[in-house]
Amino acid sequence: MKQLSISVRVAAVALLAMLIGMPDAPAQEKLTVNAGEEVLVAKLRGDDEFPSVISTKAKGEFTAKVSSDGTSIEYELSYTGIEGGNVTGAHIHFGHPFSTGGVAAFLCGGGNKPACPSPSGRVTGTIVAGDIVGPANQGIAAGELAELLRAIRRDRAYVNVHSTQFPGGEIRGHIARVQPTIVTGTGNIEGAVATFRTLLGDPLNGVLVGQQPAGRREINWDAVPAAFTNVDNFPADFFNTRSPRGAVFSTPGTGFRVSDTNFADVNASYGAQFNFFSPNKTFAAVGSNIMDVRFEVAGSVATPAVVRGFGVVFSDVDTAGSTKIEFFSHGMSLGVYNAPVRSDAGGLSFVGVVFHPSTVEVTRVRITSGQGALGANVNDVTSGGTLDLVIMDDFFYSEPRPDVH
């Protein structure tokens, strides 16, 4: 195999207020996070309006990333159920959680940004220096993006969505930063995996029942019994019931499959296409290239849990951006993180992310493995097909701890 290709990417030092809990929303892909980019998040609700709390069922979320050179903020804003008539505008304001601050930048409804949809919708855009409008009376002059970023880093900015009935704002959320440490590897990925294990911490807790005080969990498929190997009905809760490790799966497809032939029994071409990391079983969703992992306290009966880091070994990533993990915290996306393209004949790739500080709560991850589902008549793009097909091997994640929300 080729020399180890490993990248450990650390966003700028950040302070994150613990994210306020709400049920996970249906997944929608969010911003792809790259090296050196800061991640910004905000949950919006009427209870956080100031000075007057607003009674509304509306809610929203804001996710953004700051470019590594600090010259732009790429954002997505979504909201549902605005009750106060039309949405008249949405902005980033300069102010602490219990203040009313001036507008620093438009997100929609002005400032050359998209119109604001009503009563629900999603808008995207990019803020650059020319989009900063102030507030001059609070010390941020027009064009001073660096000053706005300084305010965000000091926990002094919020997102506000305004409506006809509530011109001061119907839903609002303070902007917090998360600090992702991203580890990627391709080729000989042993070093990348070792680095990620260190970040998650020791010991390896195996199948110990209940929350452990520290450490990590791992899934490598190799102990899956014959009855659940090379069949399409691998139990979604296997790794919290039969083998308690605190992980429960779901997929928009029809099931899951563990293979000891690298799926050559599904399609003969796959035997030479795919490879394993830990001998010799591998894993894929059936009927889809997408799966979700939710966390429970190991061995518990439906006791929701959170983790702070998660990583996956993939086999045969041929196309950049085809294979990725999206992280969610109580319904809010913490960004999408791509697995690197394969670099040698072995064909293995790894991506893992650990979030800091430890108060960041990952409640769910969505894994996209390539561009389509495996199938008897579906070949990989390198074997005459049109799709990049990818399978999975080992999963790594921090010890699941109870979700107190």
What pLDDT, in 10s, does the model give residues 44-86? 999 999 999 999 999 999 999 999 999 999 999 999 999 999 9
Mean pLDDT of the chain: 92
Looking at the fold, whether 97 and 193 belong to one and the same domain comes out as no
Do 96 and 155 form a contact (C-beta atoms < 8 A)?
yes
Residue 34 lies inside a defined structural domain of this protein = no
Quick: pLDDT tens for 211-257.
999 999 999 999 999 999 999 999 999 999 999 999 999 999 999 99
Q: Is 133 or 32 the better-scoring residue by pLDDT?
A: 133
Q: Which of 145, 169, 193 is the last residue of a domain?
A: 169
Looking at the fold, whether 223 and 119 belong to one and the same domain comes out as no
Average pLDDT score over residue span 255-269: 98
How confident is the model at residue 5, as a pLDDT?
A: 35
Residue 97 lies inside a defined structural domain of this protein = yes
Indicate the pLDDT class of residue 30, thresholds 50, 70 and 90.
low
Residues 6+ positions from 63 with CB-CB distance below 8 Å: 30, 31, 39, 40, 41, 75, 76, 332, 333, 334, 335
Q: In Å, what is the CA distance from 283 to each residue of 119, 186, 263?
A: 42, 19, 9
* Angle subtended at Cα 138 by Cα 133 and Cα 140, rounded to the nearest 5 degrees: 40
How confident is the model at residue 360, as a pLDDT?
A: 80
Residues 6+ positions from 330 with CB-CB distance below 8 Å: 19, 20, 21, 22, 23, 24, 361, 363, 405
Nearest to 249 by CA among 235, 231, 263: 235
Residues 6+ positions from 249 with CB-CB distance below 8 Å: 236, 237, 239, 256, 291, 292, 293
Looking at the fold, whether 294 and 214 belong to one and the same domain comes out as yes
The three-state secondary structure class of 75 is strand
How confident is the model at residue 302, as a pLDDT?
A: 86
Residue 44 lies inside a defined structural domain of this protein = no
The answer to whether residue 148 scores a pLDDT higher than 60 is yes
Indicate the pLDDT class of residue 41, thresholds 50, 70 and 90.
very high
Looking at the fold, whether 100 and 206 belong to one and the same domain comes out as no
Looking at the fold, whether 214 and 282 belong to one and the same domain comes out as yes
How confident is the model at residue 38, as a pLDDT?
A: 86
Q: What is the CATH number of the domain that holds 218?
A: 2.60.120
Task: Report the domain count for the chain.
Answer: 2
DSSP β-bridge partners for residue 89: 162
Q: What is the model's pTM?
A: 0.84
Q: Rounded to whole angstroms, how far apart are CA atoms 107 and 92?
A: 7
Based on the number of CB atoms within 10 Å of its own CB, is 90 exposed (0-12), middle (13-18) or buried (19 or more)?
buried
How confident is the model at residue 382, as a pLDDT?
A: 94
Quick: pLDDT tens for 167-186.
999 999 999 988 889 999 99
